[in-house]
Structure 1
Amino acid sequence: MTASVLVSSFTDISKDPRAIKQVEAAVERHAVTTCSFGPPPHPSVEHIELDPAGSYPTNRVMQQVDAFARKREIFRWTHDRIPYVREARRALRGRRFDAVIANNADAALAVRPVVGGVPMHIDLHEYFPGLVFDDGTAEARRQQRYLDWLLRRVVPFTTSSSAVSPLIAQRYRSLGLDPEVITNAGPSLALAPGEVGSPIRLVHSGNAQPGRGLRQLVRAVTRTRTDVTLDLYLVPNDVRFHTELSGLAAEAGERVALHPPVPREALVPTLNGRDVGVFVLPPTTENGELALPNKFFDFVQARLAVIVGPSPEMADLTRRHGLGVVTDDFTEDALVAALDQLTPEGVRAGKQAADHAAVALSGDAHRSQWEGILERLTGTTTASA
């Protein structure tokens, strides 16, 4: 039995491995429409492309009304006036769907008025109430209250939900949801741990963004007594910060190399040529404190030892599987101390441990998890297909 399924997101699904898994699980048996930024994520879907930088015609009176609504925290008005929310609703109005997978609470609330009361699964990529950095300003507190409002609005109509880690799922349960845990791990890959290099080859991949500990990482590499190099594979989405890192890397000399990002399918094989994956993420937000990102699982699939900060989820898996070192805290000095303790023997043991844990820490089970979610949403089963 074929159902009509909408997958919505206010990201570029074609670059979002998590949302792509949802689409791939759905297109096997259902007619799928995707609604997101960016190009179609799969050749078999009908795609509605939204403009992330869109605007709407307005005048001075409406600008004043919008400003008043923001100041008085009339969140419904503010949300409904977001240009890509309006665009999504216009594009979806009049269409009929049997089920919806919405990526995060904002996409869920946006499409709800036009899809009606159909079963809706919300995939929570982050801990929404903990996304804001609390700098003590009124604007930060207002944004925090907006995210709280947004989440509480979607709880009553959520049929099912999922989250990226056990701790984030636990926090959501206290807010009335009961998420299934689907991590950000990729598929298991048939790679082998390489020989430990001399010098020991450190690596980090991801977005070039402040707040991710990258300045401290570069400086720690220049300070450590251990003979190491650092390769950075970074997406320059913050051009100013990327330029700053380029300068720091140049000052570090031969120890640090800043590379362009590599395609997603080539990333893990590229990492496999290094020795230790490093990610010490300062907990500047509650969401950051609870992080269990895809790069951690990439390090494991690449058969690397790891160095992580005492972030609860990453630290727990590192200790449980013997993958490497957990720093004492999130400071540069703690990272230097961890680097000073690196030995070829310890790195070799961490790489072997990653090899042993690669299947257990992979996303091989995710396809069946998404298929199960779709069966429950649509009322179909594999046997009836």
Structure 2
Amino acid sequence: MNDAQPSLLILSLSPLRRDPRVLKQINLFRDKYRVTTCGYGPAPDGVAEHIELDAACIGWPRDPKRLALRRYRDVYWSVAGVAEAYRLLRWRQFDAVLANDLNTVPLALSLDSRCGVHADLHEFGPKEHFDKPAWRVLVAPYMRWLCRTYLPRAASVTTVSDGIARQYGLDYGVRAAVVTNAAPYVEKSPRPTGSTIRLIHSAAGQRYRKIEDIIEAFRGIRAGIELDLIVMPNEPGYVAELRQLAEEVPAVRFRDPVPYEQLLDTVAEYDVAIAYLPPTNFNLAQALPNKFFEAVQARTGLIIGPSPAMVELVERHGLGAVAGDFSSASLREVLDSLTPELVDGWKQHADQAAEELSAEHQSRGWETAIGALLGPALDRQ
């Protein structure tokens, strides 16, 4: 590590070693700049320095009284994770800061970096949990205040999909470039599809994802089509319900979650990945998730619902099938149409698109933004 390199702080109120998007940023910049990370959990590999936040210091507001009174500045600086990070960083200076998610942007701006702040927004913050009445009444106005007050002060902004970028522009006049959640490129050959077509769906175990509808689509399915589910235990009661339901559907099995670094190879054991995200909120409607890109690098086919960002890529590259809606019946129609020959075609198209849809290609928006910020620092060398 060269001490003369420009310094870049990558800031996220998340467990960094389990945050795929932040890890991509770290991998992209750790050899080019002197990267310091700040977030929860142990240091990511290859960084010059890591500032670990106390896991007990949560990164979101728990102050309903001040939220109701709209004392938003007090709300923000009383968030335990923000206060802890500020305490540890306030006397430090960096050439630039890469702030992940809306909840780090005011903190990043307060650090007075030499060359400015780039904001990477993983969601459309003001509508993140808009389906929950208490959140909609108390937290959404606070998130809108954060956007109005701080986003215009960021030197540059990126986000995860065209729909979310467009909304930030419409609502807050912020021009956001798009850096998708693409997976790193993997040199891999498509595996021929056998007589049994094996499907996989991996997801967080959260009720709003309606995983039960996927299970129901396999009830009474013809022989030769099987589904494995990898479901994280986010909501244990819900996951238990799913397991009980799957016991009634012989074509569906659960397998244990695997570490993130093993997930792509796990997906590659299958023929088709189901990337269903029912649009139960704005961010899910506009999503272009990790699992989509992991399937491409695994050289598997894809079955998706009519999510606009995913539809555009599936149809452009011939990666799989789009169900008419998010119902079990529509998914069942696609499943009934599957043949090994059809799936093999999807796999070949995934192989052809893998380089274009890789993190190395898609992450150029970050390289451009951070390079523009750190140009003056490089000139000083």
**TM (normalized to structure 2)?**
0.91
Tell me if structure 2 keeps the 8 A contact 1:307–1:325.
yes
Structure 2 CA distance for partners of 1:302 and 1:35, relative to 1, 3 Å = same
Structure 2 CA distance for partners of 1:234 and 1:68, relative to 1, 3 Å = closer
Aligned residue-pair number: 374
Partner of 2:285: 289
Q: For residues 382 and 201 of structure 1, what CA distance do their matches in structure 2 show?
A: 51
SS of the counterpart of 1:202? strand
Q: Which amino acid aligns with 2:95?
A: D
Tell me if structure 2 keeps the 8 A contact 1:223–1:336.
no
Partner of 2:169: 173
Does residue 327 in structure 1 map to residue 323 in structure 2?
A: yes
- How far is the alpha carbon of 1:196 from its aligned partner? 1.5
Does residue 268 in structure 1 map to residue 271 in structure 2?
A: no
Structure 1 unaligned regions, length at least 5: 56-62
Q: For residues 332 and 380 of structure 2, what CA distance do their matches in structure 1 show?
A: 58
Partner of 1:304: 300
Does residue 200 in structure 1 map to residue 203 in structure 2?
A: no
Q: For residues 168 and 85 of structure 2, what CA distance do their matches in structure 1 show?
A: 26
Partner of 1:365: 361
Tell me if structure 2 keeps the 8 A contact 1:104–1:123.
yes
Tell me if structure 2 keeps the 8 A contact 1:92–1:115.
no
* Pairing 1:146-165 to 2, within 5 Å after superposition: 146-165=142-161
Q: Which amino acid aligns with 1:10?
A: L
Q: For residues 364 and 287 of structure 2, what CA distance do their matches in structure 1 show?
A: 24
Q: Which amino acid aligns with 1:198?
A: S
Tell me if structure 2 keeps the 8 A contact 1:201–1:276.
yes
Q: For residues 240 and 164 of structure 2, what CA distance do their matches in structure 1 show?
A: 33
Q: Which amino acid aligns with 2:210?
A: G
Over 6 Å off, 4+ runs: 381-385
Partner of 2:247: 250
Tell me if structure 2 keeps the 8 A contact 1:172–1:179.
yes
Q: Which amino acid aligns with 1:361?
A: L
Partner of 1:20: 23
Does residue 239 in structure 1 map to residue 239 in structure 2?
A: no
Does residue 217 in structure 1 map to residue 214 in structure 2?
A: yes
- How far is the alpha carbon of 1:226 from its aligned partner? 6.0
Give deviations 1:129-168, integer Å, cap 9, x for gaps.
2212324x35423222222112222222100111112222
- After TM superposition, the structure 1 stretch with the greater mean CA deviation from structure 2, 271-280 or 220-229, is 220-229
Give deviations 1:247-270, integer Å, cap 9, x for gaps.
2222323x1121112222322222
* Pairing 1:59-70 to 2, within 5 Å after superposition: 66-70=63-67
- After TM superposition, the structure 1 stretch with the greater mean CA deviation from structure 2, 375-384 or 219-228, is 375-384
Tell me if structure 2 keeps the 8 A contact 1:48–1:91.
yes
- The percent of aligned pairs where both chains have the same amino acid is 39
Q: For residues 3 and 336 of structure 1, what CA distance do their matches in structure 2 show?
A: 54
Partner of 1:60: none
- How far is the alpha carbon of 1:111 from its aligned partner? 3.4
Tell me if structure 2 keeps the 8 A contact 1:134–1:141.
no
SS of the counterpart of 2:157? strand
Q: For residues 64 and 198 of structure 2, what CA distance do their matches in structure 1 show?
A: 52
- How far is the alpha carbon of 1:273 from its aligned partner? 1.8
- How far is the alpha carbon of 1:234 from its aligned partner? 2.6
Structure 2 CA distance for partners of 1:71 and 1:225, relative to 1, 3 Å = same
Q: For residues 123 and 77 of structure 1, what CA distance do their matches in structure 2 show?
A: 24
- How far is the alpha carbon of 1:282 from its aligned partner? 0.8
Q: For residues 67 and 311 of structure 1, what CA distance do their matches in structure 2 show?
A: 34
- How far is the alpha carbon of 1:367 from its aligned partner? 5.5
Tell me if structure 1 keeps the 8 A contact 2:160–2:288.
yes
Structure 2 CA distance for partners of 1:341 and 1:366, relative to 1, 3 Å = closer
- How far is the alpha carbon of 1:372 from its aligned partner? 3.1
Tell me if structure 2 keeps the 8 A contact 1:122–1:162.
yes
Tell me if structure 2 keeps the 8 A contact 1:226–1:342.
no
Structure 2 unaligned regions, length at least 5: none
SS of the counterpart of 1:252? coil
Q: For residues 287 and 223 of structure 2, what CA distance do their matches in structure 1 show?
A: 28
Q: For residues 272 and 139 of structure 1, what CA distance do their matches in structure 2 show?
A: 38
Partner of 1:124: 121
Structure 2 CA distance for partners of 1:16 and 1:317, relative to 1, 3 Å = same
Q: For residues 243 and 39 of structure 1, what CA distance do their matches in structure 2 show?
A: 31
- How far is the alpha carbon of 1:295 from its aligned partner? 0.4
From 254, 274, 278, give the equivalent of 2:274.
Answer: 278
Q: Which amino acid aligns with 1:351?
A: K
Q: For residues 205 and 68 of structure 1, what CA distance do their matches in structure 2 show?
A: 38
**TM (normalized to structure 1)?**
0.90
Partner of 2:13: 10
